[in-house]
Chains A and B, each alone.
Chain A
Amino acid sequence: MTETSVTTDPAAAPSVASNEPIIAIDDLSFSYDLGKTNTLRNISLEIPAGKVTAFIGPSGCGKSTLLRCLNRMNDLVDTAKVTTGRISILGQDINAPDVEAIELRKHVGMVFQKYNPFPKSIYENVAYGLRVQGIKNKGILDQAVEESLQKAALWGEVKDRLDSSALGLSGGQQQRLCIARTIAVKPRIVLMDEPCSALDPIATARIEELIAELQEDFTIVIVTHNMQQATRVSDRTAFFYLGELIEYDETQIIFGNPSIKQTEDYVSGRFG
């Protein structure tokens, strides 16, 4: 997919040539305890723009940790530290001293495992990201809320009750609301941390459809426990085991004909 398909907020960030990765991780090691033990070890991987990339692996393999490195959510942990290597997003080292994590997160949004809308109205949830940027104009907010809810395939269900509490929605709707909230700030990249693990199969199917649609506007990185989900939604898949990247390739290859035995064992259900 080419850069032209990334239509959101082109002025906000430098453009990426079609052959260049939007995220480039180079020899990254990461520690939760100031470097005593590395949770992630020497990971190198390039994520192409406009595609869906899935991170799979057994629990505790570091896939969520890596995802949280990409928008520096790990900054919330006092003792977290990148010990070696670098992550470049749009060509910029995101751990450089002159990078503001708050600005980074406006370009790299995140959807969490447990849907977590604020106990506010549906409207206020979607408008939140714009409000913290200081946008007060009602017209702009209204438009952004409608657009985002439409993109998140939720508009039809909630347009008559935008002012009612978000907590009155079903689980699947709440997660789609969280997606709408994330895309309202028009990020380039959307990180999804097991977005369906708290949802039933029907709600899961809807989110998966939504991911396919969002792919047109956003680069998506999704962590999933569910291997069928990875095959259904992703273009490329990375398999992690014990903090290391074992194999990274086209999704069909990872699930059809992986080159490493460990990957094959995992995707065929022999362990994990």
Chain B
Amino acid sequence: MPEKSSATDARSVQNPFRSLSSKQKVRDGIATGVFAFFTYFILACVVLILGKITYDGAPVIFQSEAPFVNTDFFSKSPMTLHEFYNEDGEMIRLDKDDFDAYKKANPDAVIRDEHTFSYAGGGILGPLVGTAMLVLFCMVAALFIGISAAIYLNEYAKKGRVVNAIRLAIMNLAGVPSIVFGLFGFAFFCFSPIFPVFTGNPDWEKSLLTIPLWPSDGYLSFQGWGNSVIAGAATLAVMVLPVIIAACEESLKAVPKGFREASLALGATKWQCIRTAVLPYATPGILTASILGITRVAGETAPIMFTAAVASKGKLPWQDTEGSGLYWVSNVLTQKVEALPYHIYTVSGKLPANEALDDMRYGSVFVFLLLVIGFAMISVVLRSRFRKKLKW
């Protein structure tokens, strides 16, 4: 063994730096190996997940002919898939719209061995739109409340027990399982009669207070929001608040104290100081953190399960909605919506597995993954950009 001989040599000339004993070397090697193994194990998991989803999902989204993207997948909502054999014995799969059109165009067509698969046809337009609405309303509410709370905690509140207790409460909120938020939202936002809707025909039984809005023939009715996009967004907002508050506080803390002191020493009021010497330099951090918040909100299923989501709707929220002006807005917001994570849950968990559903399943997951990765990338890029721009 070469080490042994060199060690003996070293000993003979009394080398004070002679190499470790072989036992120590083996132990060191094992330790290095174990840590490295688990690190690369994680990497392998990531590659496996991305690879599997991409392998199964990418063919659904991309195609070899122009426009290279399966546009139907993004322009149609989920619908039933019809599978049948024509007179030549060819198997044909058409979603419900195309199937109806096919039958209309060829009234004499032979349709044999027809099977239908729920939710396997069409695309994911509805779930995409629903998730976008949920995320948008949720983030508007969460950012407004979260930034306000973070400013209060970090800039105004006196340091002490009360503030620490508030922080602890917020941190605990972050640890609450999302299904609990779902139940809370269901009980609170959907049914508490403190949340008002504008409606032409109020639910007199549920409504706590109904105010006729003369001269229109509608009412402002305090009857809860019901299962609706607004209730879902509010539930998600409560869930993501701790993340937003923590991120905002971090961003505010990162603004040098010197800016605040300089501003106040020049005769600025507290609010002027925060507005002109703190917030502008905290905004990049707040923004990048919120984008990461978006990916979390977009991916949650449990909070919207009871509060907002519906498996199949058949139309987009703003299509065929009654009323005008405020009533229209209220009617749009108090509808249930399809949502991407719930859609994936439906096609993967609720329906019996079959080959026809696989495309929808992996296509949806692949698109979802792309969106999440996209948002994360935007966040990373923005952060490094701002870091370069704002140095002090």
The docked-state distance in angstroms from the alpha carbon of A103 to that of B267 is 6
The docked-state distance in angstroms from the alpha carbon of A47 to that of B258 is 27
Specify which chain A residues have a CB less than 8 angstroms from the CB of B272 in the assembled complex.
132
Given A112-B258, A181-B262, verify A119-B281 contact (CB < 8 Å): yes
- A116 located at the interface, meaning its Cβ lies under 8 Å from any Cβ of chain B in the complex: yes
A106 contacts B267, C-beta separation under 8 Å: yes
A116 contacts B267, C-beta separation under 8 Å: no
A116 contacts B391, C-beta separation under 8 Å: no
Binary contact readout A129-146 vs B (1 if CB under 8 angstroms, 0 otherwise): 101110000000000000
Binary contact readout A68-98 vs B (1 if CB under 8 angstroms, 0 otherwise): 0001010010100000000000000000000
Q: Which residue of B159, B263, B269 contacts A78 across the interface (Cβ within 8 Å)?
A: B159
A109 contacts B265, C-beta separation under 8 Å: yes
Given A116-B256, A118-B277, A119-B390, verify A181-B266 contact (CB < 8 Å): yes
Report B211 CB to chain A, min CB distance, Å.
Answer: 41
- A128 located at the interface, meaning its Cβ lies under 8 Å from any Cβ of chain B in the complex: yes
Report B280 CB to chain A, min CB distance, Å.
Answer: 8
- B23 located at the interface, meaning its Cβ lies under 8 Å from any Cβ of chain A in the complex: no
Report A128 CB to chain B, min CB distance, Å.
Answer: 6
Given A106-B267, A129-B267, verify A112-B262 contact (CB < 8 Å): yes
Specify which chain A residues have a CB less than 8 angstroms from the CB of B268 in the assembled complex.
102, 128-129, 132
Given A76-B261, A78-B158, A116-B259, verify A129-B266 contact (CB < 8 Å): yes
Specify which chain A residues have a CB less than 8 angstroms from the CB of B262 in the assembled complex.
112, 116-118, 178, 181
A167 contacts B391, C-beta separation under 8 Å: yes
Given A116-B256, A119-B390, A167-B392, verify A132-B266 contact (CB < 8 Å): yes
Given A116-B258, A118-B277, A119-B281, verify A182-B269 contact (CB < 8 Å): no
The docked-state distance in angstroms from the alpha carbon of A128 to that of B159 is 29
- B276 located at the interface, meaning its Cβ lies under 8 Å from any Cβ of chain A in the complex: yes
Interface centre among B265, B281, B392 (most CB of A within 10 A): B265
Given A128-B276, A167-B392, verify A114-B258 contact (CB < 8 Å): yes
Interface residue count for A (Cβ, 8 Å)? 26
Closest to A114 in B: B258
Q: Which residue of B265, B267, B276 contacts A133 across the interface (Cβ within 8 Å)?
A: B267
Q: Using a CB-CB cutoff of 8 Å, which residues 295-353 of chain B contact chain A?
A: none
The docked-state distance in angstroms from the alpha carbon of A191 to that of B256 is 20
A132 contacts B265, C-beta separation under 8 Å: no
B261 contacts A116, C-beta separation under 8 Å: yes
A182 contacts B265, C-beta separation under 8 Å: yes
B265 contacts A105, C-beta separation under 8 Å: yes
- B173 located at the interface, meaning its Cβ lies under 8 Å from any Cβ of chain A in the complex: no
B266 contacts A128, C-beta separation under 8 Å: yes
The docked-state distance in angstroms from the alpha carbon of A71 to that of B267 is 10
Specify which chain A residues have a CB less than 8 angstroms from the CB of B259 in the assembled complex.
116, 118
- B160 located at the interface, meaning its Cβ lies under 8 Å from any Cβ of chain A in the complex: yes
- B170 located at the interface, meaning its Cβ lies under 8 Å from any Cβ of chain A in the complex: no
- A24 located at the interface, meaning its Cβ lies under 8 Å from any Cβ of chain B in the complex: no
A102 contacts B258, C-beta separation under 8 Å: no
Specify which chain A residues have a CB less than 8 angstroms from the CB of B265 in the assembled complex.
71, 73, 105, 109-110, 112, 182
- A220 located at the interface, meaning its Cβ lies under 8 Å from any Cβ of chain B in the complex: no
The docked-state distance in angstroms from the alpha carbon of A114 to that of B258 is 8
- A66 located at the interface, meaning its Cβ lies under 8 Å from any Cβ of chain B in the complex: no
- A40 located at the interface, meaning its Cβ lies under 8 Å from any Cβ of chain B in the complex: no
Specify which chain B residues have a CB less than 8 angstroms from the CB of A110 in the assembled complex.
261, 265
Q: Which residue of B158, B160, B261 contacts A112 across the interface (Cβ within 8 Å)?
A: B261
Q: Which residue of A102, A117, A128 contacts B269 across the interface (Cβ within 8 Å)?
A: A102
Given A119-B390, A119-B392, verify A182-B258 contact (CB < 8 Å): no
Report A268 CB to chain B, min CB distance, Å.
Answer: 34
Q: Which residue of A73, A76, A117, A185 contacts B267 across the interface (Cβ within 8 Å)?
A: A185
The docked-state distance in angstroms from the alpha carbon of A149 to that of B232 is 56
- B264 located at the interface, meaning its Cβ lies under 8 Å from any Cβ of chain A in the complex: yes
Closest to A101 in B: B264
A185 contacts B392, C-beta separation under 8 Å: no
Report B392 CB to chain A, min CB distance, Å.
Answer: 6
Q: Using a CB-CB cutoff of 8 Å, which residues 51-76 of chain A contact chain B?
A: 71, 73, 76
Report A198 CB to chain B, min CB distance, Å.
Answer: 11
Report B262 CB to chain A, min CB distance, Å.
Answer: 5
Specify which chain B residues have a CB less than 8 angstroms from the CB of A102 in the assembled complex.
264, 267-269
Closest to B163 in A: A78
A78 contacts B390, C-beta separation under 8 Å: no
The docked-state distance in angstroms from the alpha carbon of A117 to that of B276 is 13
Given A71-B265, A119-B392, verify A132-B258 contact (CB < 8 Å): no
Closest to B273 in A: A132
Interface residues of A (CB under 8 A from B): 71, 73, 76, 78, 102-103, 105-106, 109-110, 112, 114, 116-119, 128-129, 131-133, 167, 178, 181-182, 185
Show 6 residue pairs from A and B whose CB-CB distance is below 8 angstroms, ordered by the A residue: A106-B266, A109-B265, A116-B258, A116-B262, A119-B390, A119-B391
Which 10 pairs from chain A and chain B are nearest by CB?
A116-B258, A129-B266, A106-B267, A110-B265, A132-B268, A78-B158, A132-B272, A105-B267, A116-B262, A102-B269
What would 6 more interface pairs be, CB under 8 Å, given A78-B160, A103-B267, A112-B265? A73-B261, A114-B258, A116-B256, A118-B259, A129-B268, A132-B263
Interface residues of B (CB under 8 A from A): 158-160, 256, 258-269, 272, 276-277, 281, 390-392
